Amino acid sequence: MFDMGWSELLVVGVVALIVVGPKDLPVLFRKVGQFVGKAKGMAREFSSAMNDAADDTGMREISSGLNKSLKAATNPLGTAMDGVKSATKSLADINPDSETGKLAAKRAEDAKKMQAVRDRTIAERKQREAKEALAAADAEVAHLAKPATPAAKPAAAKKTPAKKPAAPKAAAAKKPAAKPAAKKPAAKKPAAKKSET
């Protein structure tokens, strides 16, 4: 509004402090705040009155039409895209009595049937899985609840022998194979001395 920066406001505050004095400065600031509040309120009332008058005379419709034409002039690609969008929206509204409408209805009905079949298959699978889980749980409970008979005790006490781990094979695989000792060449014997006789 007045285009005043912080430095100008600081100078005005120092001058007001010197001229008015520190005792009356809060009273002055309160009065200035009330005056600014009244001015803003009057500006709002004036602006709303002008907007109401523009609505009554139809200036808004003219200005919106002018804005649309300016937009079309400055952004022809955007305007063309708006036209395409409105055209596709009108194509989306299909007459149910036309061949296209009948085909769309048939496709929607087929999709519903497929969805129903899929849902039924899923429900049957879940029901079958629940029955299998229930049968397994019943078998486990029956197995745990069975009283131990003397004949059954040795069978329960008998353990299956544990399999030996394949450690020898693994150890053999880890150790390098023993190399056969290389043959040393035979040592040469010194030749026998001939006697001179």
Question: Considering the domain boundaries, does residue 126 fall inside one?
Answer: yes
Question: Considering the domain boundaries, does residue 178 fall inside one?
Answer: no
Is residue 195 within 8 A of residue 187, CB to CB? The reply is no
* Domain span holding position 115: 96-144
pLDDT over 60 at 160, yes or no: no
Per-residue H/E/C for 122-142: HHHHHHHHHHHHHHHHHHHHH
Residue type for position 91: L
Question: Considering the domain boundaries, does residue 77 fall inside one?
Answer: no
- pLDDT tens per residue, range 55-66: 777 777 777 777
Number of folded domains that form the chain: 1
Question: Considering the domain boundaries, does residue 149 fall inside one?
Answer: no
Question: Considering the domain boundaries, does residue 106 fall inside one?
Answer: yes
Question: Considering the domain boundaries, does residue 155 fall inside one?
Answer: no
- Maximum CA extent, the chain: 159
Residues near 25 by beta carbon (within 8 Å), at least 6 away in sequence: 16, 17
Question: Considering the domain boundaries, does residue 7 fall inside one?
Answer: no
Structure tokens at 105: 């209805």
Residue 87 pLDDT: 75
Residue 156 pLDDT: 47
Question: Considering the domain boundaries, does residue 116 fall inside one?
Answer: yes
Please state, rounded to an integer, the average pLDDT across all residues of the chain: 77
Residue type for position 70: L
